[in-house]
Every structure is written in C-alpha cells, then in structure tokens.
Amino acid sequence: MMVVPPRITPLSILGAVLVLALMVERGRCIYCWICNSAYDRNCADPFDNITSALVDCSKRHLEHMPNVEAKVCRKIVQKVYNDFRYVRDCGYLEGDKEGTECIRRAGTISVLMKYCSCKTDGCNAAPSTVGTTNLQWVLAVALLVPLYSVLLK
C-alpha cells in the first residue's frame, strides 16, 4: 500500500503562519507612549508625540510588583475642577473590560477620571483607546482567505 504524503498548499501555509502569529502575539512585549501633560503639554489631546518616544514596557518594572510585566498600554484622563491632565503609560494589571472600552470614575469635589487600556503597540496615543483584538484578526483572515483562493485559480 502506497502512502500519499499530504499536499502542502499556499493556503495551508498561510493558515499555519496566521495561527503562529496569533499565538506569538500573546508572548511579546508591548510598546507604549509614556508622558504626563502636567510636565509636557504635548501629552494632552490631541496627542503630539514630538517630545515622546515609544517605550518597551518589558524594560520597566514596578518596585512593589517586580515580577509583573506590562500587558497593556494605558491612557488616563483626570479632570479636577476644570483642569485636565493626561497620563499615558504602561499598564501592568488587566481588568475585566481591558481593550473594550474606557472606564469612568467620579470622585469627590469635582474629580473625574477616565481609564482607557489597549493591547497594541502605541495604541495609547488615540483620543479613544481601544486595541485590536484577536477576534478582529480572525475576522480579517476569514475575509482574506476566500480572496486568496480566488487569486490562486
């Protein structure tokens, strides 16, 4: 009996590469903008990164959590009375709503806070910070695969 080796097609190679890319993305470091509008007015919205640089968050560690690596980029908007402050930084702890929407909090004496988190490099530059999820990548691939197979014919 003759064993026929499986046929490797461009489509199967593309599928394997995409699966690997989605798996690798979870283990890589994230680059975020780090600034505070109290010290740098370019940090406010609209964000102007002329005085900032993307920072590799895996190189930054917190003293009180030395073994925790940054997983998200974070943008915080603070409003105290009518004074706004914008803080962009690495985020170390993920919440339930990370990457899906901003969380708003109200404090005493006219204090308002908005925390936005996202999971893609440099995503905390946007006015409304929401990162690309794996589901969005899968949907994009699902749309591209039929197009790719049509082009091969």
Higher pLDDT: 152 or 50? It is 50
Round to whole Å and give the CA distance between 89 and 43. 11
Quote the mean pLDDT of the chain. 78
Give the whole-angstrom CA distance, residue 8 versus residue 16: 11
> What are the residue ranges spanned by the domains of the chain?
26-148
pLDDT band at 17 (very low <50, low <70, confident <90, very high): low
pLDDT in tens, 116-144: 999 899 999 977 544 444 555 555 556 66
Which residue shows structure tokens 């691939």? Answer: 141
DSSP state of 123: G
Answer whether CATH 2.60.40.650 is correct for domain 26-148. Answer: no
Q: Are strands 103-106 and 31-33 parallel, antiparallel or unpaired?
A: unpaired
